[in-house]
Amino acid sequence: MMALPQETTPTSTWPLPPSQYINQYTDEIIRRGRAPKPPLPIHNEYTMFGVPFNAEDVIVRPLESQAIRRLYPQNFDHRRELKKLNHSILVNFLDLLDILIKCPDSTKRTDKIEDINILFINMHHLINEFRPHQARETVRVMLEMQKRQRHQVAERLERQEDEVSRLVREALASLPDNLDSDSKILVPSPEELQLRPKNDSSSSAEDKCSSLDRLMCNIVDAL
């Protein structure tokens, strides 16, 4: 009798956060202001992944402070030295292959591996020295992009403003020339108002509103 296949239990790719942290930052605790505050900034030495660090150290520490031999002079060209280190790594790798083929048990194999290791460390150190320059260039490119986007938005606004101004000018030009005379005919003169019978205030207000409504309707029809 064949065994039934067991159902696989779905599991999360990443483990859940520790329960002691979740319980300290619930919505109720945060609303009451009882959540633990973040730790204070570190101003002295600290340890990360078992390696001691000092907060006052430079971002890229010199090789001498890490007890690593420097393979290039103090004053140098980064591009030239990176090319030289890359060429040296290729040459040493070919030498290592030659040693492994001819005498793999020789002590030269360990020495050559150590030389390649130092070459890679020096190359990575030179690359890391470019990180501040890379950060500045990234900020510069981001600011230039924002500036270009703002210029494009300003140009679109100017084009829309010109379009609206053109439509307003065309609308004004399409108005009839005898609009003033028509409006004067529709609006009663003071003598006509005196000859009209005096009714209550509500009727006079209605007459005034009706005359204004007629005037506006005539203007709209003329458009």
Q: Is the pLDDT of residue 179 over 80?
A: no
Band of the pLDDT at 163, cuts 50, 70, 90? very high
In angstroms, the CA 132 to CA 86 distance is 22
Q: What is the pLDDT of residues 129-145, one digit of tens each?
A: 888 888 999 999 999 99
Q: Is the pLDDT of residue 158 over 90?
A: yes
CA-closest candidate to residue 137, choices 145, 194, 163? 145
Mean local confidence (pLDDT), 91-101 = 93
> By three-state DSSP, how is residue 52 classified?
strand
Band of the pLDDT at 191, cuts 50, 70, 90? low
DSSP state of 188: P
> By three-state DSSP, how is residue 48 classified?
strand
Q: Of 9-13, 37-41, 53-57, 206-210, give the lowest mean pLDDT range.
A: 206-210
Which alpha helices (DSSP H) does 103-130 contain, by range? 108-129
**Cβ burial, residue 61 (10 Å; 0-12/13-18/19+):** middle
* pLDDT score at 161: 92
Cβ(106)–Cβ(99) under 8 Å? yes
Q: Is the pLDDT of residue 208 over 80?
A: no
Tokens for 7? 């159902």
Band of the pLDDT at 147, cuts 50, 70, 90? very high
Cβ(43)–Cβ(55) under 8 Å? yes
